Structure formats: structure tokens, C-alpha cells
Amino acid sequence: MNSAIQGLSAGLAAAAAGIATSYLLRSVRPDARQEGSLTVVEYGRPMKLFVLVVWLFVAGAAVAAAFASEHDRIIAFCTVAGFFLLILSLHLEFFHVSIRYDTDGLHTSSPWRRNRFVPWSAITGIRFSSALQWYVLSTSGLGHVRLHLYLSGLQSLLSELASRGFSIPVATPKHK
């Protein structure tokens, strides 16, 4: 493949990634859903659909790698394995992370650490990480709670925190 075609392919891939990221960010619902007495902040359907589509891409790439020449097969399978690990981490994040809250505090659920209950009184501060695109709630003795911008219902939780006297930093999303 000549360098002009490679450059065009890379440019189209970057544009597609930017468009997809922008769509996913716009698909985030500001208001949380109710589940009995709990208010739920979680990744929405578009995020989960994105993961399912990428799973199909990875499965197709694995099939294609099986038909690669013997010389290229190891490189192809290593590449597929890298994408497999990436989509597995996205799957765990998008399907298994949620924050539920009520009048007592936050109930967090995540595959990355044990489930926790964080009373409102344990929250000591809030900051925003521009690099990682998430709010970080600092607590006294209970670690940090990270709230990604792609969580549906995040605005409801931030409003709840503001009503409890916390100063909410301005988020600066990378993509609009």
C-alpha cells in the first residue's frame, strides 16, 4: 500500500473515531433513572451497543487472522488479542459499573474493586480530571469514586452533590 493510501486510511479512521466518540458523548442522558428509592447512574444503551459492535469486529478479525498466511498469523493473532483485551475492559466497565444513591449516600458497583457504600458525610471533595475525563470524589477512608463523563445520570448526581454543599468543578470534555 502506498503512503498516500495509508495516510488516507489513518485519516478516515481518526475521523470515524472522533465522530463515534462525539456521538457517544451526546447520547449520555443527564438525568438518572429511578430504581425504587435509589437513583441510578450507569452507562446507557448506546455505550453497551458500541461494545457489542466492537465484539463482533474482534470476532471477525479473529476469523480473518485464522486465514492469514503462516508468516503473518502470529502478528494477526497478537493484534486480535490486544483488541480482545481492550474490548473486554470496555465490556466490564460499560456493563458492570454503576453508582446508586439515596438519602444515605452512594452504593458503588464495579468490577475493578469491591462494592462499597459511601455515606454523604465521607465525601471530602470533588475534582475533575481533564486527561481521564472523569470526576473524582475524594472520601475519608473509603478511597476515590470515579465518575466518567459517559455515565448517564451523572448530571443528577452532580446536582445532588451541589445541593449538599459541594463545589462542582467545570468539566472540559475532549470531544464536543
pLDDT value of residue 10: 64
Examine residue 173 and state whether it is found in any structural domain, yes or no: no
Examine residue 174 and state whether it is found in any structural domain, yes or no: no
pLDDT value of residue 70: 85
Checking if the pLDDT of 109 tops 80, the result is yes
Examine residue 9 and state whether it is found in any structural domain, yes or no: yes
Q: How confident is the model at residue 24 (pLDDT cuts 50, 70, 90)?
A: confident
Instruction: Report the C-alpha gap between 39 and 103 in whole angstroms.
Output: 10
Helices 45-66 and 3-26: angle between axes, nearest 10 degrees: 150
pLDDT value of residue 144: 96
Contact between residue 117 and residue 97 where contact means Cβ atoms under 8 Å apart: no
Residue 123 CB neighbour total at 10 angstroms:
19
pLDDT value of residue 25: 72
Structural domain boundaries enclosing 137: 3-163
Checking if the pLDDT of 41 tops 60, the result is yes
pLDDT value of residue 8: 57
Instruction: Report the C-alpha gap between 141 and 121 in whole angstroms.
Output: 11
Strand partners, 39: 34, 101
Examine residue 172 and state whether it is found in any structural domain, yes or no: no
SS3 12: helix
Number of structural domains found in the chain: 1
Examine residue 81 and state whether it is found in any structural domain, yes or no: yes
Q: How confident is the model at residue 7 (pLDDT cuts 50, 70, 90)?
A: low
Tens of pLDDT, residues 127-164: 999 999 999 999 999 999 999 999 999 999 999 999 99
Examine residue 158 and state whether it is found in any structural domain, yes or no: yes
Examine residue 171 and state whether it is found in any structural domain, yes or no: no
Examine residue 34 and state whether it is found in any structural domain, yes or no: yes
